[in-house]
Structure 1
Amino acid sequence: MNRPRLFLVTPPSFDTSSLADKLRLAFRGGDIACVLIYMPDANTKDIQAAAQALVPIIQEGGAAALVYRDTQAAGRSGADGVHVDTSLEDVKLAVESFQPDRIVGTGGTKQKHDSMEWAETGVDYIFFGKLDLDEKPDAHAKTINSASWWAELFETPCVAMAGQSLESVEEAAGTGADFVAIKDAAWQAPGGIDEVVANANRILEKYPFPDAD
């Protein structure tokens, strides 16, 4: 698939059973590259319990299941990888522990130099956009600028986080990023999440990479 793919981020808190149903519905809407189980305020026990329920659903849908920050919960739940953004040292440790069999992603860097340094660890992707900020309808300008800069110059795949509106997927895709992430746009939409995924994919299809036929 030679165009940006969808990177789905869960809400920061959720009822696992309800989210499981929504994820099953989401995959009916079309292609999802990966789902980040994002539970920033939860402990390892709760993250692992949620991941053990959600990871099989995500994998059955054909996507990679990633766990936010908690390498222990990621390993024990059978997740496909982990997203670590706490420190450069933590990223290095995750790369040593998880690769080459599992995915390690990172993000949240403040400076361009940091992004390059963190990417040099061998991570599978770098994420542009702050997961913990209140979302606005449009993607944040810094996210768009950083993803555009990265996609043009570097080989490590990048993720550009869209805003709260589905329309912002267009702006994020225009950066040339390999993946476009949505969070609130998926879970807070008035329609079903399958419709959101289908509409997001229709937008992404309009942005083939330069070497596409």
Structure 2
Amino acid sequence: MTGTDNRCRLVLIVPEGEDIEARKAMVEDALRGGDVASVILPQYGLEDGLFQKHAEAIVPVIQQAGAAALIAGDTRVAGRAKADGIHIAGGLEAIGEAIEKFSPKLIVGAGGAKERHAALEIGDLAPDYIFFGKFDGDIKPEAHPKNLALAEWWASMIEVPCIVMGGTDPQSALAVAETGAEFAALCRAVFDEPANAAQVVASVNALLDEKAPRFED
């Protein structure tokens, strides 16, 4: 058991962008900073063909660093890029269909849970994780209080792991960890200054190593 297996781990959200090589380099640099459980690559506004090219360039970089590469968008892109999983935020029907079609071959994660009832309905489908927040929800230094409250409630009673979107301050990952959530997601906190991405990932891991609560076996 490694030191990160029993505490909240970091998940990275790749920011929006058109330049494939710049995004690839940005992700590669960030992953040099230390432990990252997974990296989610959202489609944003990219058309499927261009998104495919981005995925084929970035997915291998993620996997070579030992993290899981997850695609949020066209599931066909995930298959062609040989990603490890998909993130679905299109409602219960879409989540259920994805789980039926792709699990357990691929990780199938679910977003779109804005309140407890919706979260429980998603949880009943048994995705591999549930995501609280929006990929572009990091508009303040701290994580959104509503997402932290949802995570604390969820982690205390549901076995499906949760990922919670943090804020623009890297230290917001600790507030996520303190809810009992398994994963803290960061985007702008890591990628707003790409030259410092590895350093930020290293500092977040050091913070979580020192202060994050430990999970019971």
Partner residue of 2:188 out of 181, 184, 207: 184
| TM-superposed deviation, 1:47 | 1.4
C-alpha contact 2:12 2:36 (8 A) present in aligned 1: yes
Change (3 A) 1:134 1:177: closer
Partner residue of 2:50 out of 46, 63, 70: 46
| TM-superposed deviation, 1:208 | 3.6
- Post-superposition CA distance 1:14-53 (Å, at most 9, x none): 4210121122212221001000001221121111111111
Give ranges in structure 1 of 5+ residues lacking alignment: none
TM-score (norm 1): 0.94
Which residue type is aligned with residue 216 of structure 2?
D
C-alpha RMSD over aligned residues = 1.5
Per the alignment, in what secondary structure is the counterpart of residue 125 of structure 2? coil
Residue identity over aligned pairs, in percent, reads: 42
Which residue type is aligned with residue 89 of structure 1?
E
> Is residue 93 from structure 1 mapped to residue 85 from structure 2 by the alignment?
no
Which residue type is aligned with residue 46 of structure 1?
L
- Post-superposition CA distance 1:120-141 (Å, at most 9, x none): 1121000011224461111111
Give ranges in structure 2 of 5+ residues lacking alignment: none
Partner residue of 2:36 out of 32, 35, 54: 32
Give the equivalent residue in structure 2 for 1:59: 63
Aligned mates of 2:215, 2:76 — CA distance in 1: 39
TM-score (norm 2): 0.93
> Is residue 209 from structure 1 mapped to residue 204 from structure 2 by the alignment?
no
Aligned mates of 2:9, 2:215 — CA distance in 1: 15
Give the equivalent residue in structure 1 for 2:112: 108
Between 183-192 and 40-49, report the one with greater CA deviation: 183-192
Per the alignment, in what secondary structure is the counterpart of residue 160 of structure 1? strand
C-alpha contact 1:104 1:123 (8 A) present in aligned 2: yes
Give the equivalent residue in structure 1 for 2:83: 79
Between 198-207 and 147-156, report the one with greater CA deviation: 198-207
Give the equivalent residue in structure 1 for 2:171: 167
Which residue type is aligned with residue 47 of structure 2?
N
